[in-house]
Amino acid sequence: MVPAALATDPLRPQYHLLPAANWMNDPNGPIYWKGKYHMFYQYNPNGAYWGDMHWGHAVSPDMVHWEHLPVALAPTPGGPDAAGCFSGTAVIDGDQVAVLYTGVVSVPENEATIRDGEHSFRESQCLAISSDDDLTTWTKQPQPVIAAPPEGIDVSGFRDPSPWRQDDWCYMAVGSGIRGKGGAVLLYRSRDLQHWEYLHFLAQGTGNGKQTANPVDSGDMWECPDFFPLGDKHVLIHSAEGKSFWQVGTFDTERLLFHPERSGLLDDGSFYAPKTQLDANGNRILWGWIPETRPQNEYQTAGWAGMMSLPRVLTLDEKNNLKMVPHPALKQLRTRSEPKKSTSIKKCCGEVFCRLKTSAPIAFSIQGERGLGNVLHLEYHPDQPDKIQLAGAQLTLPNIPVELELHLFVDGSILEVFIQSQMAYTKRFYFSGLSAPDLSIHVTGEAADSSGLEIWQLTPISKDRLSR
């Protein structure tokens, strides 16, 4: 795909992070280092399809405006990552940054830890250390730091290491599961990032009982775990069955056991394999991969696939339910507020904020031309005060609201919706034509205050949808 076609593709977002071309998936090792934000991500430099996994790399002063840097990690022929550098996490190691990631090699099925009906890979956990402040030069350990899963466990996967420091130790969660029984997170510890001791399961779950070729689809494999303190609690996130989940609970730092107390979905739409980091002010920031939902032949022909979500700030409410809001840094993209009489988003590039009283029925929809119809439709009825109808499904609100708050971002073919700062829904939508259509906003309900409906046009972070 020539750059000119990509630069004029109206389906490409204008303020979400994505490569100049080709395939992107999981966020890897996001980190704030030496005054800059670094985002690494799963990347195929050879085309807009999954395969040949590298670590792409972008840097930002604010988590909004991005500059692409050279690929950070590439498979090493004959090495433990010869068939791909899979997902992982960055950790500060003294005056440098290290990344722990999963390397894969192709092996016969009886030697594989990934057997999903399509691939036969052996996974191991690998270490690379950066030697420069820009995190562009990396030295890999020639051998895995964890070569194989713990003995005696018939794992359904073994990947996506997520380390954190605690006292004199570095601990690490690794995504896994027991074949036919359910997903799990394995817990390791080390003093030097190179010699690791397996401890026990940090968390376990039960699968859905379905017989699937890929154990992720049955819930027998938990991908992309992340474990971190938040407020007075700890949070575990993982991905399986096409969704990403959170658990909030208590971490026994003596016995190193996690006791979950609350749980839920991070996003009810097209959002997967999330990863967190701390920003410059110590806030916990969540990123996720937003995949394509159109057929592979369409995105492969288009020359690009996937993008990063907007940064979301995580906190806990008074009941220890997880809360998330778009990062305040995104406000700098606002160019102007549309007049109150205007109810449209120009060229699929805008932001909407709406706060309505729940004492009367509420209906909120976004509509578009060129066969789009209802891009989004949401309803709330006072006779079911803890429910909303969204995209044809009934969802339960964590708390009964006095006011219903909606915050939305539209960007090319992506819509991110935040509801009550406690629920999120990400949707891909596609249209025909050489330019993006305007979208109309329709609201029925009683405004709670002057912010009953606010619309902003947003400034693209690139002049041509290519350079970031």
Catalogue the active-site residues.
26
What 3-state DSSP class applies to 333? helix
Token reading at 91: 């950790």
d(CA 350, CA 438): 10
Under DSSP, the state recorded for 146 is B
d(CA 389, CA 432): 28
Measured in residues, the chain has a length of 468
Measured over the CA atoms of residue 250, residue 419, residue 396 and residue 399, the dihedral's sign is: positive
Under DSSP, the state recorded for 200 is E
Long-range residue pairs from 44-52, CB within 8 A, at least 24 positions apart, any chain? 45/71, 46/22, 47/22, 47/23, 47/300, 48/1, 48/21, 48/22, 48/23, 48/299, 48/300, 48/302, 48/303, 48/304, 48/305, 49/23, 49/296, 49/300, 49/305, 50/23, 50/25, 51/23, 51/84, 52/84
Contact assessment for residue 416 and residue 350, using Cβ atoms and an 8 Å cutoff: no
CA distances in angstroms from 24 to 189, 341, 448, listed in the order given = 30, 39, 40
d(CA 237, CA 274): 8
Contact assessment for residue 468 and residue 462, using Cβ atoms and an 8 Å cutoff: yes
Contact assessment for residue 172 and residue 189, using Cβ atoms and an 8 Å cutoff: yes
Three-state secondary structure along 423-439? Answer: EEEEEECCCCCCCCCCE
Nearest alpha-carbon partner for 115 in 237, 220, 24, 42 = 220
Token reading at 219: 């819930």
DSSP H or E stretch at residue 298: helix 296-302
